[in-house]
Structure 1
Amino acid sequence: MAQGKAVVAGVGMIPFAKPGASDSYDVMGAQAVRLALEDAGLIFDDLQQAYAGYVYGDSTSGQKAIYRAGMTGIPVVNVNNNCSTGSTALFLARQAVECGAADCVLALGFEQMRPGALGNIFEDRPSPFDEFDAATEALVGNSQIPLALRYFGGAGLQHMQRHGTTLEDFAAIRAKASRHAVNNPLALFRKEVTVADVMASPEIWPGVMRRLMACPPTCGAAAAVLVSGSFAARRGLESRVRIIAQAMTTDTASTFDSDDMMRVVGYDMTAAAAAKVYESAGIGPRDLDVVELHDCFAQNELITYEGLGLCPEGGAQKFIADGDNTYGGQVVTNPSGGLLSKGHPLGATGLAQCYELTHQLRGSAEARQVPGARTALQHNLGLGGACVVTLYQAG
């Protein structure tokens, strides 16, 4: 039986770290679970289901991590949806609560990563990126460049060619991320950098990408406990933050047949998911106070401004120049520092975004608090592909 909107009762997150500087995935994951339960004022025995997200790990790694926090025989579902894995776990947990399958559900994301560029693990079978590689080769070439950089750098290059965007615009996004991350004790990089610093960083694709425009490989974990409104009322739980709309999309034919690198990297998935969420909630992008979006590269943050409708197509350059993406502007984007500064442990990212936005809507984000934040949007993208857009409101 439907139970109304899911309540975010508790969130937990550990500081993100460089590969080799973190605990193992199971230790990190269990720590995030304990923190989320503590934040909710619950114990492990209260959980009725769990969804555990990770990309790089063997089957049932979710059980390995969750068992460190408790073993009560509940269903544990392992989730892998590339970089949108954490928010996919959140999507499933929210569905379980709203449809009445459970009253108290855990969404967990963790990742123990290796240094260096992302790549395929299994080389003896077709890659899920074969079609993406073929489209990218036809549009931008440069097959010697690592996979993710080639995709998003190519999308940024197309935006530059189409709209006159400059490298300095991308550098301004990275500089903004660093200013926000200074106030986030859980972020990997907390040093402020300027546009000049970003432009002076090593060139990894001439005319297209500087090193500081790319997020770093990162290890970490984050979790959320979702409950029904009736469960929250019975237990006297924190219930101000609710998920009022959520949508997941995957690729359509336009990803490959539009001859458009921005669509190859998920622009249409983003736009479709955002449109569904806005329609479901009866609001528009101008109603948002704060956004955590998937800035795996500064180029993708800029493209996503337009995909989410924060500004018109071709309007991102002005949006940045006017300061409409930061404090005092139209909407604060990535107050956490985003993936660029906070780090990007693939399975944990979506739940780290949930952690940030929950604190923003509670008014407990301390020095990075967005004044008067009541409505928050989360955007988490995984190539291959899936996009999850989640809308939260404070009650």
Structure 2
Amino acid sequence: MTVDSQIPPQNQDASLFKRPKVYIIGVGMTAFTKPLTSGKDYPELVKEAATASYMYGGSCCGQRALYEIGLTGIPIFNLNNACASGSSGIFLCKQIIESGNVDLMLAVGFEKMQPGSLENSPEHLDDRALPVEKHIQLMADTYGLQAAPITSQMFGNAGREHMEKYGTTREHFAKIAWKNHLHSVHNNKSQFQREFSLDEVVNARKIYDYMGLFECSPTSDGAAAVIICSEKYIEQNPHLKPQAVEIVGIELGTDEPSVFAENSNIKMVGFDLIKKISERLYSKTGVDPSQIQVIELHDCFAPNELITYEALGLCPIGKAGEIVDKGDNTYGGKWVINPSGGLISKGHPIGATGIAQAVELCNQLRKRCGARQVNNAVYALQHNIGSRIVFRPDRQPSPENGIGGAGVVAIYKLGFPELANKNKEEIGEMSSEFKSDAIFEEIKERAEQVKKIFLILKFSQPSI
């Protein structure tokens, strides 16, 4: 049985059961790079960037990574929720802080990957059931299995189904990839910072069926981190209010029986999961898509971005192509979707992805994004989904660290917008070193109080 703590027992004051607010007060990330090009391992990545979220590696990589920034005896959770690992870490931090046991936490995500598709994993576990075997079977029964990366087939087939059902065109997907690559030009953390023409996207080397190289997210190395605090902590440290971003709401869910009920590849990649948790998020927060200005969305493949427009309620089912045609997914439209460049262009180091999305949205709300700044952003929406499958070279399935599906959606806003301008006037431009920022000075002072702080951080890294 599950209990929602937001629903009070009958005849009791609802205000007594109101959850305390939770804020992000510090963010940081490395540049995302092509695997094997940076020469850095987990510890260096986290020291540069800095719950631990990752996909590849042993069971306690979080501990090893955090050794580089101090041994304090604090509890550390290692999370593996596939591509949704990073946002799952934020979800867990918020839940723990709301419990009242912790006031300050760090969520850090990192990944060091192999070049090529996700199938190129050095580790395989062949002696146990494949977590996504039902997903594979559904895909085989509808479109068959091809000699192509399995993840590209999963999402590519969802796009094929959308075209067949709703008249979506191949160009709609290409336009999404073109848009995201264009957005990344102004993001110096992005793995790719190059604009491609629409013709280049359409005519790129095919990865699966109609879907070309520039419509697929790359494997990447990188790390990202956010510091999350309680309402009590922010009141005790009011100098942090100008930079505080409130986590208005965050929901995490997994697949339900409907994922297989209709032999639908769209549902198989998580449509119903995202639709359900986003509706729950809107209901709990009182914020709907019309109030949101900027979105970081899990565009692992271009078709998934288009399908997710509908799952998130940005448009009716079958009408996502109209968002693309009208330019309502970029600057000047209803929403700016993936101003960072998204996974397709910014990169996709699996464990870091969900946290990097939060970093981008916090910086957008703080108006620190320079040429890619979204004007008048009040509410920001995050969407992160994970599903995992590995094929061995002989094309037999292997479940290394796999899950069927997990999704996270979250809404953010400035916690104290009336103080934002005051912040700029009083502290000026952010220093190039983390150590000079107030939040990290505060964390350093508290580093000895490990019994009162769950996860802490002390490091010097460019930019918050």
The RMSD of aligned alpha carbons is 1.3
Alignment correspondent of 1:234: 236
Of 191, 195, 202, which aligns to 2:205?
Answer: 202
The DSSP-based 3-state class of the residue aligned with 1:352 is helix
1:244 matched to which residue of 2?
248
Deviation at 1:124, TM superposition (A): 2.7
**Matching residue within 136, 141, 144 for 1:138:** 141
Structure 1: how far apart are the matches of 2:94 and 2:20? 10
Distance, in Å, in 1 between the alignment partners of 2:60 and 2:47 is 14
Q: Does structure 2 conserve the Cα–Cα contact (< 8 Å) formed by 1:165 and 1:317? A: yes
**Counterparts of 1:218 and 1:99, CA distance in 2:** 35
Q: Secondary structure at the match of 2:69?
A: coil
Counterpart in the other structure of 2:180:
177
The answer to whether the Cα contact below 8 Å between 1:9 and 1:227 also exists between their aligned partners in 2 is yes
Residue 89 of structure 1: aligned partner: 89
Choose which of 233, 257, 260 in structure 1 pairs with 2:261: 257
Match of 1:32 among 49, 58, 71: 49
Percent sequence identity over aligned pairs: 43
The equivalent of 1:155 in structure 2 is 158
SS in structure 2 of the partner of residue 348 of structure 1: helix
Return the alpha-carbon distance in structure 2 between the equivalents of residues 101 and 87 of structure 1: 21
How far the C-alpha of 1:205 sits from its partner, in A, is: 2.4
Matching residue of 1:392:
412
Residue identity opposite 1:176 in structure 2: K
How far apart are the structure 1 equivalents of 2:340 and 2:207? 26
Q: Which runs of 5+ in 2 are unaligned?
A: 1-16, 388-403, 416-464
> 1:97 and 1:3 mapped to 2: Cα distance?
10
Q: Which residue of 2 aligns with 1:55?
A: 55
Question: Is it true that 1:100 corresponds to 2:97 in the alignment?
Answer: no
- What letter corresponds to residue 213 of structure 2 in structure 1? R
Describe the shift of the 1:3–1:159 C-alpha distance in structure 2 as closer, same or farther (beyond 3 A). Answer: closer
- Contact between 1:251 and 1:269, CA under 8 Å: does it hold in 2? yes
Q: Residues of 1 paired with 2:176 and 2:274: CA distance?
A: 19
1:291 positional shift: 0.4
CA distance in structure 1 between the partners assigned to 2:117 and 2:144 by the alignment: 18
Which of 325, 329, 332 is residue 325 of structure 1 equivalent to?
Answer: 329
Residue type matched to 2:229 in 1?
V
CA change 1:232–1:125 in 2 (3 A) is same
Matched, 1:368 2:372: yes
1:300 maps onto 2:304 in alignment: yes
Shift, 1:98, TM fit: 1.7
Residue 363 of structure 1: how far off its partner (Å): 1.1
Q: Which amino acid aligns with 1:19?
A: P
Q: Tell whether 2:25 aligns with 1:9.
A: yes
Q: Which amino acid aligns with 2:53?
A: G
CA distance in 2: counterparts of 1:316 and 1:111, whole angstroms: 32
Higher Cα radius of gyration: 2
Match of 2:225 in 1: 223
Q: Is 2:207 the counterpart of 1:190?
A: no
SS at 1:230's partner residue? helix
Q: Secondary structure at the match of 1:306?
A: helix
Report the residue type matching 1:214 in the other structure: C
User: 2:290 maps to what in 1?
Assistant: 286
| Cα displacement string for residues 343-386 of structure 1 (whole angstroms, at most 9, x for unaligned residues) | 00000000000000000111111111100101000000002211
TM-score normalised per structure 2: 0.80
Corresponding position of 2:444? none
Q: Measure, in 2, the Cα distance between the counterparts of 1:2 and 1:227.
A: 17
**1:3 shift after superposition:** 6.2
The aligned amino acid for 2:148 is I
**Shift in Å, 1:109:** 0.4
Q: Whole-Å Cα distance in 2 between the matches of residues 3 and 125 of structure 1?
A: 41
CA contact (8 A) 1:3 1:228 kept: no
SS at match of 1:124: coil
Q: What secondary structure, in the 3-state scheme, does the structure 2 residue paired with 1:68 have? A: helix
Aligned to 2:359: 355
- Superposed counterparts of 1:307-322, under 5 Å: 307-322=311-326
1:19 aligns with 2:19: no
- In the aligned structure 1, how far is the partner of 2:57 from the partner of 2:261? 33
TM-score normalized by structure 1?
Answer: 0.93
Residues 17-38 of structure 1: CA distance to partner in whole angstroms, max 9, x if unpaired?
00101211221022211xxxxx
Deviations 1:51-95 (A, max 9, x none): 000011111000001111111111000000010000001110111
Counterpart contact for 1:293–1:333, Cα < 8 Å? yes
Partner AA of 2:149 in structure 1: P
Comparing 12-21 and 195-204, the one that deviates more: 195-204
2:455 aligns to what? Answer: none
The alignment partner of 2:148 has SS state of: coil
- Is 1:341 matched with 2:358? no
Structure 1 CA distance for aligned equivalents of residues 191 and 411 of structure 2? 26
Q: What one-letter code is carried by the residue in structure 2 that aligns with 1:198?
A: V
Whether 1:125 aligns to 2:125 is: no
Q: Deviations over 1:205-262 (max 9, x none)?
A: 23x3111110001110000000012212212214531001110010000111221101
1:145, distance to aligned residue in structure 2 (A): 2.2
CA contact (8 A) 1:2 1:99 kept: no
SS, match of residue 240 in structure 2 = coil
Structure-1 residue corresponding to 2:76: 76
How far is the alpha carbon of 1:2 from its aligned partner? 7.3
Residue 244 of structure 1: SS of its match in structure 2?
strand
Instruction: Look up the equivalent residue of 1:7 and give its one-letter code.
Output: Y
Task: State how many pairs are aligned.
Answer: 377
Query: Counterparts of 1:19 and 1:195 in 2: how far apart (Å)?
Result: 26
CA–CA distance in structure 2, aligned partners of residues 228 and 167 of structure 1: 46
Q: Is the 8 A contact 1:2 1:98 kept in 2?
A: no
Distance 1:246 1:291 in 2: 14
